[in-house]
Structure 1
Amino acid sequence: MFKKTIQYFFILLLCVYGTVYGQGSNTKGNEKSYKNELDKLVEKSQKLSNDSLLFIVKEFYALHTTYQDQASLVYASFCKANDEHLKANHVDAMRHAIDALNIAQKYNVKQPIPGIYMLIGNLHKENTNYPMAFEAAGKALQSAKLNKDTLRIISAMGLSAMFRRGYVRHFGLSIAADSSIYTQFEALKMAESSPKYERERVSFYHNIAQHYKDMKDYDKAIMYAKKGITLATALNKKRSLTYGYCWLGEANYRKGNRELGTKYIEKAISISKEIKQPYRTMELYETMANCYRSSGDLKKAIPFMDKYLEVHDSLNVQTNEKLIGELQIKYESSKKDKDLALMQQADQLKSKQMIWLIAGIIIFMVLSVTLVYFYTIIHKRNNTLNDKNKKINEQAEKLQTLMQELHHRVKNNLQIVSSLLTLQSNRMVDKEAKQALDVSKQRIEAMSIIHSSLYQKENANMVDMKEFVSVLLNSIVESFGVNRDNIDMIVEVGVDDIDVDVAMPLGLIMNEWITNIFKYAFKDWDGRPLVIISIAQTSSSIRLKIKDNGVGMPQSLWDNPTGSFGIKMIKMLTKQIAGLSNIINNDGTTFELDIPLVVNKKNTNTL
């Protein structure tokens, strides 16, 4: 607490110093000398360690005092914003970033604008305000292109891809919806085109490693993480090392090398604490907790989740999200008419230096006492919240277990019904009645397969479509007594997990259509049977296609299925999931079904 107080006091003195001695006029001085000094100082600020940012602010203010140019004020505010960001003081960071952007746009200082927008985007992203984060990243890329600044174009592309990745992960979307990897490789190719963009490569190596880690391609994840760590170490980019060791550790852990994985993540935590990055430390605590939880080691997971919640609450992430959004909205709505208070009051403050300094010290002391008081209250509330969150997590785990048990019991009950139907069918003499029972049994088998998949998964609401299709086909083939060597079957499933509310009707539709193929498509037909099943996902829908080379279905039967319960059921289930279906008769029959990714909730849940 004392160390933090000293830092705030030092910042206050710098602000008073810069305000008192600054002047409103914009005299050029020696332009060539000024530009050389400014360029050197900007380059220096980009290579300094985090602890030195406040010292470089003082040098920018001194440069402004000497040459009376506004660019130095822009970089001073930008550096202060970066310093507050790294300390996880997001509201103060946004204020300084907006001050820098305001001065830059008012005095047409173009060069730092892309970097300022990227910082603003990061602040929104870290507080989960993705719409404003995407908007800021777009403005960063646009301004970088206007400046013809290749370095910033590369950085802005990487930032936009990272935001897209974070959006997909935050809202639990399917990894198939994440297109950021293509942007990552495109930007990496640009970064690798010249040695002067070497520093930019580190983040791309780490982001690509994260992508492959989430795709469960752990070998590629480890390869890219190591490349990033090697380069970050050579360039002394310690914050970047926290990402490299994090993905390297998580990939090893989930690959089975748990001891090695936890050592890498612990190294990342150690570095983040060393460079005083509380927000990054919070993220790493969550990563460690998730690793232990994934292997069922809740005893080790709980302490790390408690640490995560403690830091999360201390940073007031949700409160910051609201304040940061309000700050930028106010700025965007008034920036055309807003005058810079810093420049307007410069001459007046010069004659009142001592008064301001004393007033600042008094205000600082009052604020310090107030902060200590509120810190005590907030600490007590945080302890209470931690206890509540722990109970919520325990209840969530119990609910997950109950859902899995429910699916298990439903699966068992369906298998009992299926067995009863089999016994009844074996006793039937009438072929039509026996066939009806067999069809009903197969439909029940299709539902049973889905529930069997659900109770074995950690997420009891998502169905693994690749596994489901494989088991369903085996069940149908076995029920018809078909020799797989006598039929060609091509199966392509390009979708991973689907919500059970969509997977259930989709599975029944597939079961019904494939069953009909085996019953009718190759009856009184001379040739080698071929069945092609394809499930693919586009940006807006999931598409099912089932084709056979049999005798073909009459179009009239599809259009008016008066006597076909199966086709009626297919159309009813298609309507339930707001889908569109049709058939094409060409060298057999092709059934096509298009399901939108976002379905009306009156019909079913979203995918």
Structure 2
Amino acid sequence: MKKLIWALSLLFAGLSACTQSSRTDSLGKLIDQARDEAGKAKLLILRSRSYAAPQTPLALADAQQALAIYQQEKDEKGQVDAYVQLSGLYSRQNKYLLALSVDSISYSLSEKNNYKQGLAFSSSNMGRNLQQIGRFKEAHDLLTKSLLLFKETGQERETAEVYNRLGIISRRLSDFSASLQHYDNGIAVARKYDLGPSLANLLMNKANTLNESAKYDEAIDLHLQSIRIKDRLKDNRSLVQSYNNLANVYNTTGQFEEALHYYRLAATMSEKTGNKTSLALAFSNMAIASARIKRLDSIEYFYQRSLSLFLETNDKPGTAMVRNNLGNYYHETGKYDQALEELRKALEMRKGTGSIYDIASTTNTIGVVLRKLKRYEEAEQHLVKSLNMVRNDGSALQQTIYRALGDHYQETGDFEKAAAYQAKYISISDTLLTEGETVNMVKAQSKYEIEKKENQLALAKASEELNAVRLANRNRTIALMIGLALLLFAGMLLYFRSYQLKKRAALALTQKNEKIETLVKELHHRVKNNLQVVSGLLSLQSNRTEDESARAAMQEGRSRINAMALIHQKLYTETDLAAVDIKDYLENLSGSLAGSFGYKTGSIQTEVRLKDPNIDIDLAMPIGLIVNELVTNAFKHAFAGIRDPAITIRLQQLQEKKLELQVMDNGKGMGEEKPTSFGMKLVQTLVRQMNGQLSVRSNPGTAYTIEISTT
């Protein structure tokens, strides 16, 4: 019964793609219905995360759209979330340097806003991408920091992947005990929260460390556990890695046909999934396995294919590995000069990664090649250096170095040292792969194959039962489908009718809005014309009036009317019917005032320092009237006897909701100013109307400073 249920679950697992499609469709509807931009951006990031690997371009488009919204809204925490998602997608495409540049932005924004969750994800992403390009020590520090931040912010689930990365880095730095401890910590978290994909990767990577520690039977057992989980999850991209790694164990233990079988599986699946890194690794491994079983015709071809793919993806650790393996191949075939060239290139790249195990391995092989070239002094230096780099942990590499040193001293006639190192080599050989471990490896593989066959049989039985149920319910299903089709047709008719009605309503609304916009523009035009008529009447009247004080009052009134008319003229010509470009307005107003008093336009300087120069008409009107009064006052009273009169008008942003208006002249000060004049009373009234504060400074010149609240 249990097997039947398990088989049924496998059948229905095939529906996961439909479920995923349904989820993205549901999120798409929510995005279309989102009323605020911030909510829409969050939904876009959720949908970006829901896309599978082949849909990466769609995922990128959603993440970039979310980022644009957050930037427009000036939501820096939201920008961090979008950058974190973009980094993951670039990393998925092997664009590690681009991902790192995105990580640095998200890290800086997180620090600026004290956004600990963003810091945790940014540090984790940077660690992952630095690991991929071989900068292991920097990656280790950042991943350790992200681990602490995830724990501090209560995101224990996220630590599983961080432990996985730390385990990989510790293995590359030859700290096998730390590597295994990190994996065990991550496995505990993955099992606690039922994180299937993370658990599979942790088991696989722990098996890799066990393989390098020469614990081959445990490594194979864990690899097969990981493959079972990935089979169940249909995670083909990750299965490629498992096949490669499992084959590596078989290759190390001399089971070359078995190794080549899994390498071929990995290569075939890599080509289907488009994973260039995994395909490169598979080609390199196929070359090694082919060499072991003496299939020499395709070895160099496999290496060159692997090298070109690693170079294409800028994978430096992978490139170094292939050059190292190619050097080994040239060494084994007696092409010692070519071997030395490739091995030295590999060593130089591996020094950049800080991977002690890899550096020691390449250094040892260079020593062996130098011995073959009779360059004994250099050979001894390399062999001793490689031995000093490895830990005394009885690893397979340590065994290899002991053997190389034994052969070296045997050939150079130092038989005492040769015997000592050969004894150490034999001592480790006895502990590396026992007969019992070999049996355990075979048992683990057999158990996996038996389970696979039993599952296939259970699946076949379940399929027969399901076919019988389908046959019995076929007529009912057909009737139901016909009914649903009729309902769908009726729904489509209703939707089409509703769409037509909405389209007509939208058209009517657009036409109405256009009429309103035309009427408002016409209103501003007529107000401007009427104000100009009044201005003209005042001009005529002032020409007929002999009383100088009355004539001056009319001219002042005319100046105020012109200031207001200029605003309505601007509104008539602009697309925004409720806001004025204050910089352009003040420049035109000041030029008009200078001309009316016989001064050059250049005698007035206008400075506007605002985030947005377009301000509301209700604020622009009093600002214009105040500037009109203060500039008029300056021209009338301030410049008697002044050779080069100058006025500065400055409008700047003090705070988010506060502006500062300054009108300054280089005149003789306020000696002749009448603070109780109508003009100054008007200025004070307008300042109170804007909830502002007026201050005056005199000698030299006069400077009016008005703080305006825009609330």
Find the structure with the greater CA-based Rg: 2
TM-score (norm 1): 0.46
More helix by share: 2
TM-score (norm 2): 0.39
